[in-house]
Amino acid sequence: MSFLYTDRIRKEFGGVIAVADVDFSVEKGIICGLIGPNGAGKTTLFNLITGLEVADEGFVFFKGEDITNLPPYKITRTGIARTFQNIRLFKEMTVMENIMIGRHFRSSCNFFPQNRLLNSILCFFNIKKEERDIYEGANKWLSFFELEKYKNELAKNLPYGKQKILEIARSMATEPEILFLDEPAAGMNPAEKAELANVIKKLNEFGVTIVVIEHDMKFVMGLCEKITVLNYGRKIAEGTPKEIQNNPVVIEAYLGKEDERSLTKN
Amino acid sequence: MTNFLLLLIIYIGIYSILSLSQNLITGFTGLLSICHAAFFAIGAYTTAIYLVHTNGSFWIALLLSALISTLSGFLIGLPSLRLRGDYLAIATLGFGEIVKNLIINLDSITRGPMGINNIPSPKIFGFVFNPAVKLNYVVFVWIFVFITFFTLKRIVHSRFGRALEAIREDEIAASTMGINIVLYKVVSFTVGAFFAGIAGSLWAVYNQSVAPQTFDFILSVMVLCMVVLGGMGNNLGSIIGAAIIVTTSELPRLLGFSNIFPPQINQMVFGLLLVLVMIYRPQGILTRKRVDFEKLLSKKIKMEGKS
Amino acid sequence: MLFILNQLVVLTKIVELIKILYNLNKEDAMQLFNLPLNEVIQHIINGITVGAIYSLIALGYTMVYGILKMINFAHGEFLMMGTYVSLLIWDSLRKGGNNPFFYILAVICGMIFSAILGVTVEKVAYRPLRKSLRLAPLLSAIGVSIILSNLAALIFGTKSKKFEYPFSNSPVVIGMVSITPHQILVIAASLFLMFFLTLFINKTRWGKAMRAASEDIDTASLMGINVDGIISLTFAIGAALAAIAGVFMGMEYKVYPTMGTMAGLKAFIAAVFGGIGNIVGAMVGGIIIGLLETFGVVIFGIPQGLKDTISFLVLILILIVKPTGLLGKKLKEKV
């Protein structure tokens, strides 16, 4: 059984079928790409997996458990994290605070786990330890992503590229086993993209499974071991980068029948 | 004159408790709740009814007020907080009107529009707090203000408080951080109601009477103004906001102008204040307080943290 | 064409209903809710009258929310101001005689004033805040609401005034049911206005632009639609409809500076009930709330003082059961 997989998952908006009976699977430890023309349903699929959309039909399984339609906070707690296409940082909070929020459920104080209410009251009187744990946990990721110099800067004041990195840092602070990145390279210049690719590889080496939605083909092909292609809500192809590049159905989906060259170029 | 100043300080104290609790709900969690007057009323009437009918201990009255107010907060929060912010505003507005309506109509319990009078003064450790001796009340009320302030400070400068702010900034992103949005909103709302109930109890014993006209929509707006003016997300700001607004509110009385300015002018000033502050300085007087973690935590962190 | 056909069908249904009413007599008196049928119908008429007024007000809320995704807390005050202006003009014109033409003129003036007020408020107090914090336009609207209601109290006094009928309001009896000319006016005028609004929204260029803007405001502006102008138009129409509703309210009850508050609240509940952002929803919601209020008092014996509580209970209920309202679609934030 795959690490994470969807089973005939389906989502409709009004009359439009955004995701149609998709069987999407991710093996543990790989870097996997999800591509497709605009409107293919990639982000919707992410949303269905991470609980931000409710599936009309079908299932999502993670580590053998059914996580279909769980509320987002529960899904995150099972070890799934994600970033957003349009960056959703906590703008009026500092970089450090943003990452610290990622530590929220990982560092809960547990004087008395048997009773949540009693626990909260006891913890109320000893916040320092909890805050220290959170701070140190967040600091680790702050350093990993080399954001130290922005530590006390408000998130909204960061340069765009750093904001994208911050979002990833924040997600990693939740210590996920699988990370979904929605167009992490969008708006970055080639140098930043190369850096991002390295960061993703490093994370993968630490054992994080990664799923990336991207439009930059060079980026995706260079990074991912497996690529799934969606079009009009359906899975039209799946395989290694080489296979996908040469798949006529994929080429047609992107470009129409005439021009076959572009998929292999950037 | 001194007497009036002391009165002012007492009012500022009680309203500070209201604005601090509203700040938790609106300033930190970003929930537009405009029914604080209702929780205030519930607290006040609970104390009034209890003391008048049983002549019992003030502490029991206070406890009851806080409890019933908290319960109301929970009951109204649970259904309303699952929805988008705008709906909450209307739901709370409606709740405020319902409470006022109930107070006026359930006159067998609340004596309707006439209100409850002759509320006995609290006897604490044998000492009677007579409202005529204002200085006692100043101390009494402000002890509660400090308790409220420091409790809320502890709540806010913690993992829980950060989560509330995350919810305010971006609910969807916060949910993907493993934060149970509905739970935190309800807790925030309920805790806010708790302190408003306490403020109500204090009001009832100081004023020695309660009447439904006091607890109208305008009062909720006034408290909201205090939070907005003082700076959303800044507790000290809420106290400052309360001070400014109570003073301007009572200024006509202080200066002897109360016959010249009709009450409408007062209210118009609030309205204008809201609009102008929103347009020109929505963050208010004091902005969000940034916690200096290095200072807060031990020296060890300080040495490691500075790169 | 289909649209006109639909409206004709509705009209024929109404004619049939009137025929039935006329032919009702004592033998047909059935027991419905422990009440004789004619009383039930009487209450239905009363409920629809009240409901029609709520619908007119609700339309303003729902249209503004549809495009700007904000609740215009000051909508009730647009109603109130328009009504006062109509009242002033009507009272002064009335001296020359109880002419229905003067009445119509007064009402139209009130509508125009209200429309201008709405457009101005939007420009001054809401537009600067469109890109600001989420709470900013709401707080500003609350501020505007307070300013306007107190301004009215200062200018017009706090004592309530009566909006005199331009006709004699003695009830007309149709079979076992009596209906006043006021009720006929309200129902007829509301139907008329709602018909034309629906026509406007569905058939004209501006209506289309309004619908586009409420779907996706950014895309609409990219398509070349003058979004600011459309928003002003929306406010104008909503405020004008509210003004007429206020005049009807003034005729049946009275005119006073805070008349917009409670009615506005209930109309907003109606809009939410029917599905906020949905125009038909606002119309349907208003009628239903009106009926619920009337029947609530009659069947459950809820005292007049607590009548308003009915609407709020409906609100809480709908928020729990189906927050998007009867006809609403899920307004989800795009992630």
pLDDT in tens, A48-94: 999 999 999 999 999 999 999 999 999 999 999 999 999 999 999 99
Q: What does the pLDDT average to over C124-134?
A: 88
What domains lie within chain A, and their CATH numbers? 1-61+74-79+177-222+230-266 (3.40.50.300), 91-175 (no CATH)
Query: Which secondary-structure segment (H or E) carries C31?
Result: strand C31-32
B275 to C132: CB separation less than 8 angstroms, yes or no: no
Euclidean distance between CA atoms A142 and A137, whole angstroms: 9
Q: What tokens does B292 get?
A: 């200096």
| Residues in chain C within 8 Å Cβ distance of A85 | 335
CA–CA distance, B185 with C108 (Å, rounded to integer): 46
A43:C329 CB<8 A: no
Is C103 within the bounds of a domain?
Answer: yes
Mean pLDDT of A241-251: 89
Of all residues in chain C, what percent carry a pLDDT higher than 70? 86
- The nearest alpha carbon in chain A to C335 belongs to A84
pLDDT for B22 beyond 50: yes
Whether chain B has a CB inside 8 Å of the CB on C153: the answer is: yes
* Residue of B147, B141, B143, B146 lying closest to B206 (CA atoms): B141
Largest CA distance in chain C: 65
**CATH number of the domain that B133 lies in?**
1.10.3470
* A99's tokens: 């990452």
CB contact under 8 A, A47 and C335: yes
Packing angle of the helix pair C135-156, B263-280 (nearest 10 deg)? 150
Nearest CA in chain A to C329: A14
Residue B7 to residues B196, B213, B222, B245, B292, Cα–Cα distance (Å): 20, 20, 18, 14, 37
Query: By percentage, how much of chain A surpasses pLDDT 70?
Result: 89
Which chain C residue lies closest to B228 (C-alpha atoms)?
C139
Q: Which residue of B154, B157, B177 is in closest CB contact with A104?
A: B177
**C17 pLDDT band (50/70/90 cuts)?**
low
Alpha carbons A156 and B283: distance in angstroms, whole number: 15
Tell me how close the Cα of B98 comes to any Cα of chain A, in angstroms: 32
Tell me if residue C136 falls in helix, strand or coil: helix
Residue C55 lies in a domain: yes
Question: C335 touching A, CB under 8 A?
Answer: yes
- Closest to B91 (Cβ–Cβ): which among C146, C147, C316? C316
Residues 6 or more apart whose CB falls under 8 angstroms from that of B227 comprise B19, B22, B23, B26, B27, B237, B238, B241, B284
User: Under an 8 A CB cutoff, do C335 and A84 touch?
Assistant: yes
pLDDT in tens, B103-120: 888 877 878 887 888 777
- Stretch A220-248: mean pLDDT, rounded? 92
Is the alpha carbon torsion for A106, A109, A113, A116 positive or negative? negative
Q: Average pLDDT, whole number, for chain C?
A: 85
Cα-to-chain-centroid distance, residue A235: 19
- At C138 the pLDDT is 86
CB contact under 8 A, C335 and A14: no
Site of tokens 């009572």: B250
| Residue A145 sits at the chain C interface (C-beta within 8 Å) | no
Residue C94 has pLDDT above 50, yes or no: yes
Residue that wins the pLDDT comparison between B295 and B241: B241
User: Is C329 in Cβ contact with A47 (below 8 Å)?
Assistant: no
Has residue C24 got a pLDDT over 90? Answer: no
Q: What distance in Å separates the CA atoms of residue A201 and residue B55, rounded to the nearest whole number? A: 73
Residues in chain B: 307
Contact residues for A28 (Cβ-Cβ < 8 A; gap 6+): A3, A177, A209
Which of A196, A162, A167, A213 is closest to A47 using CA atoms?
Answer: A213
Q: If you compute the radius of gyration of chain B from its CA atoms, what whole number of angstroms results?
A: 20
Structural domain including B134 reads 2-305
For residue C132, the distance in angstroms to the closest alpha carbon of chain B comes to 8
Per-residue H/E/C for chain B: CHHHHHHHHHHHHHHHHHHHHHHHHHHHCCCCCCCHHHHHHHHHHHHHHHHHHHCCCHHHHHHHHHHHHHHHHHHHHHHHCCCCHHHHHHHHHHHHHHHHHHHHHCHHHHCHHHCECCCCCCEECCEECCCCCHHHHHHHHHHHHHHHHHHHHHHHCCHHHHHHHHHHHCHHHHHCCCCCHHHHHHHHHHHHHHHHHHHHHHHHHHHCCECHHHHCHHHHHHHHHHHHHHCCCCHHHHHHHHHHHHHHHHHHHHHCCCCCCCHHHHHHHHHHHHHHHHHHCCCCCCCCCCCCHHHHCCHHHHHHHCC
Segment 4-63 of chain A within 8 Å of chain C by CB: 14, 43, 47, 52-53
Q: Verify whether the Cβ–Cβ distance C335 to A43 is below 8 Å.
A: yes
DSSP-derived letter for residue C333 is: P
Q: Which residue of chain C is at minimal alpha-carbon distance from B270?
A: C143
**Other C-beta atoms within 10 Å of C63: how many?**
27
C-alpha dihedral sign at B120, B124, B125, B131: negative
Q: What is the pLDDT of residues A114-145, one digit of tens each?
A: 666 666 666 666 777 788 889 999 999 999 99
Question: Which segment of A143-147, B179-183, C38-42, C304-308 scores lowest on mean pLDDT?
Answer: C304-308
Distance from CA of C193 to the nearest CA of B (A): 27
Per CB-CB distance under 8 Å, the chain A contacts of B175 are: 51-52, 71-73, 76
- pTM of the predicted model as reported, rounded to 2 decimal places: 0.84
Number of independent structural domains in chain C: 1
From A87, which residue of chain C is nearest by alpha-carbon distance? C335
A7-53 pLDDT, tens per residue?
999 999 878 899 999 999 999 999 999 999 888 899 999 999 999 99
C2 part of a folded domain: no
What total of structural domains would you count in chain B? 1
| Neighboring chains of A (3 or more beta-carbon pairs < 8 A) | B, C
Per the CB < 8 A criterion, the answer to whether A201 and A133 are in contact is no
Determine the structural domain holding residue C98 and report its residue range: 31-321
Question: Binning pLDDT at 50, 70 and 90, where does residue B300 land?
Answer: very low
Q: What residues of C are in contact with residue B102 (Cβ under 8 Å)?
A: 306, 309
Over residues A156-179, the pLDDT tens digits come to: 999 999 999 999 999 999 999 999
Q: Collect all residues with Cβ–Cβ distance below 8 Å to A76 and sequence separation of at least 6.
A: A50, A105, A174, A176, B175, B176, B177, B178
pLDDT, one tens digit per residue, over C29-83 is 455 556 677 788 888 899 999 999 999 999 999 999 888 888 899 999 999 999 9
CATH number of C304's domain: 1.10.3470
